């Protein structure tokens, strides 16, 4: 996590494991906002995983 002007901003792998409680603890009070953030984090993780799979598939095809 990275501190910026007294705020903690989670980065990288920490985001994958972040929970509703974690978001509330760092100051995101609205349940709906936390759920929206968790959804976006999961979507980004999915896109990242799909990209990695595509790269592995392309690498295997070249071998």
Token pair of 6 as six digits? 């007294």
Say how many domains are in the chain.
1
Length of the chain in terms of residues written:
63
Q: Write the CB contacts of 45 (distance below 8 Å, at least 6 apart in sequence).
A: 15, 16
Predicted pLDDT of residue 2: 42
Contact present, 8 and 2 (Cβ < 8 Å) = yes
Each of the 63 residues of the chain gets a pLDDT tens digit; together they read: 444 445 666 667 778 888 999 999 989 999 999 999 999 989 988 998 899 999 999 988 887
Is the pTM higher than 0.75? The answer reads no
Token pair of 62 as six digits? 């070249």
Range of the domain at 40: 2-62
């Amino acid at each position: 996590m990275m501190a910026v002007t007294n705020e903690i901003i989670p980065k990288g792998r920490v985001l994958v494991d972040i929970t509703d409680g974690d978001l509330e603890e760092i100051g995101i009070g609205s349940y709906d906002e936390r759920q929206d953030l968790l959804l976006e984090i999961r979507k980004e993780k999915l896109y990242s995983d799909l990209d990695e799979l595509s790269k592995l598939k392309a690498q295997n095809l070249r071998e």
